[in-house]
């Protein structure tokens, strides 16, 4: 049966429409990518077409993800210590951060549900691994998402305020420790620059902003010039659906990094260039509706606490793309887990049974 009353299907249709049409018109050599990624985003539909799993199965899935996080640690360490690279079984440095963010969120979710110290320790371990690749966007997105999850939980369960504060305290200690490690030991220039700003040694200017942002400041300014030109020339079609994915090298000015095909800066600027007004509006709806869904979970009900990490992973994904491309290979997974939570909530899954 075709899913009805879903939160994200209409914005996904609009987002995919802008993606495919603009790419077909202006970057036809990339049309295969546009079609492939648009199709994968419809992973969101599948959980709405089947009977939602029972709470028992959801708990088993959550536990399995935590165990998977531990099983991948030797792989991560082998890649890091022997091969000197940040990698799991697949993907690049980005996937280490994104996948261990998933394991962290499910550990936090299980801790809030069961209050078992094992899950708190697991969250700390996975968060520590997630810090290692120094992916600032993913780190910021994960911290904000965990803060949000714990805030919502404590708001409904004030008797567990101390447990919530313990989670947040551990998070802050890990984040500060990770920052100092990257600045003082690894000498990552981005964190060294941030430390020098904090200590008052340097002030913000274009050069410093570029150092902090890995040249995103220059890319942002180039992207704004493209948008300004579209407005001044009245390029209605470009403003409506964008210039197509990976179109940067065809535009004036191009991204100021050799070979970069998109304006990787603030997500709304780069996606406006690629997918226009329609794409950005659709993206904003996905952002807003995922957060509203999380807020509306009834965390006084054990059945809905279970859904917390399933829904939160899309919120993390959205927040972690504020300064990076919105679309990557993890998006279908984030949409899928959110759809699981949405379908279960709508059908009021009962403990130990399927609806």
pLDDT digits (tens, 9 = 90+) for 263-273: 988 899 999 99
CA separation for the pair 7, 88 (Å, rounded): 33
Let me know if residue 49 belongs to a domain. Answer: yes
pLDDT (mean) for 308-320: 95
pLDDT at 318 over 90: yes
Is residue 355 included in any domain, yes or no?
Answer: no
Residues 6+ apart with CB under 8 A from 31: 20, 23, 24
Q: Does any domain span residue 23?
A: yes
Mean per-residue pLDDT for 62-90?
87
Does the residue 282 lie in any domain?
yes
Higher pLDDT, 80 or 171: 80
Mean pLDDT of the chain: 86
Alpha helices in 201-351 (DSSP H): 206-213, 216-233, 236-241, 267-296, 302-305, 308-320, 331-346
Q: What is the mean pLDDT of residues 129-134?
A: 73
d(CA 352, CA 54): 5
Return the pLDDT at 347: 80
- Let me know how long the chain is: 355
- Report if residue 354 sits inside a domain: no
Note whether residue 287 is domain-resident: yes
φ, ψ (nearest 5 deg) of residue 215: 70, 10
Residue 252 is given by DSSP the state S
Residue 14: which domain range?
A: 9-346
Place of tokens 């909530």: 345
User: In the prediction, which pLDDT does 166 show?
Assistant: 72
What DSSP string runs through 141-182?
HHHHHHHHHHHHHHHH-GGGHHHHHHHHHHHHHHHHHHHHII
**277, 239 in Cβ contact below 8 A?**
yes
Q: Region 101-110: what's the mean pLDDT?
A: 93
In a domain, 353, yes or no: no
Domain count, the chain: 1
Q: What is the pTM of this model?
A: 0.89
Who contacts 171 (Cβ-Cβ below 8 Å, separation ≥6)? 127, 143, 146, 147
pLDDT, residue 95, reads: 81
- Report if residue 2 sits inside a domain: no
pLDDT at 353: 40
């Amino acid at each position: 049966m075709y899913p009805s009353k879903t939160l994200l299907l209409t914005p996904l249709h609009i987002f995919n429409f802008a993606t495919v049409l603009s790419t077909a018109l202006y970057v036809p050599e990339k049309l295969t990518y546009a079609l492939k990624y648009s199709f994968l985003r419809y992973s969101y539909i599948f959980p709405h077409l089947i009977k939602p799993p029972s709470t028992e199965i959801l708990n088993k899935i959550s536990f399995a993800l935590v165990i998977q996080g531990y099983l991948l640690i030797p792989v991560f360490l082998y890649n890091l210590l022997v091969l000197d690279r940040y990698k799991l079984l697949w993907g690049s440095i980005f996937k280490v951060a994104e996948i261990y963010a998933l394991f962290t969120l499910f550990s936090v979710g299980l801790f809030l549900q069961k209050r078992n110290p094992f899950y708190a320790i697991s969250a700390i371990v996975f968060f520590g691994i997630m810090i290692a690749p120094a992916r600032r966007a993913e780190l910021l997105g994960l911290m904000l998402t965990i803060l949000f999850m714990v805030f919502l939980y404590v708001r409904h369960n004030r008797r567990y305020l101390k447990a919530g504060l313990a989670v947040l305290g551990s998070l802050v200690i890990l984040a500060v420790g990770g920052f100092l490690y990257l600045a003082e030991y690894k000498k990552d220039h981005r964190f060294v620059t941030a430390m020098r700003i904090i200590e008052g040694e340097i002030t913000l200017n274009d050069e410093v902003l570029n150092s902090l942002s890995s040249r995103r400041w220059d890319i942002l300014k180039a992207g704004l010039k493209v948008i300004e030109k579209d407005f001044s020339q009245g390029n209605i079609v470009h403003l409506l659906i964008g210039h197509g994915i990976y179109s940067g090298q065809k535009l004036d000015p191009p991204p100021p990094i050799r070979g970069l095909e998109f304006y990787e800066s603030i997500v709304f600027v780069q996606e406006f260039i690629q997918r226009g007004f329609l794409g950005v509006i659709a993206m904003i709806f996905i952002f807003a509706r995922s957060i509203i869904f999380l807020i509306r979970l009834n965390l006084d009900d054990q059945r809905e606490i279970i859904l917390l990490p399933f829904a939160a992973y899309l919120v993390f994904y959205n927040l972690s793309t504020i300064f990076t491309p919105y679309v990557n290979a993890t998006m279908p997974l984030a949409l899928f887990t959110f759809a699981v939570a949405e379908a279960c909530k709508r059908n009021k899954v009962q403990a130990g049974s399927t609806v």
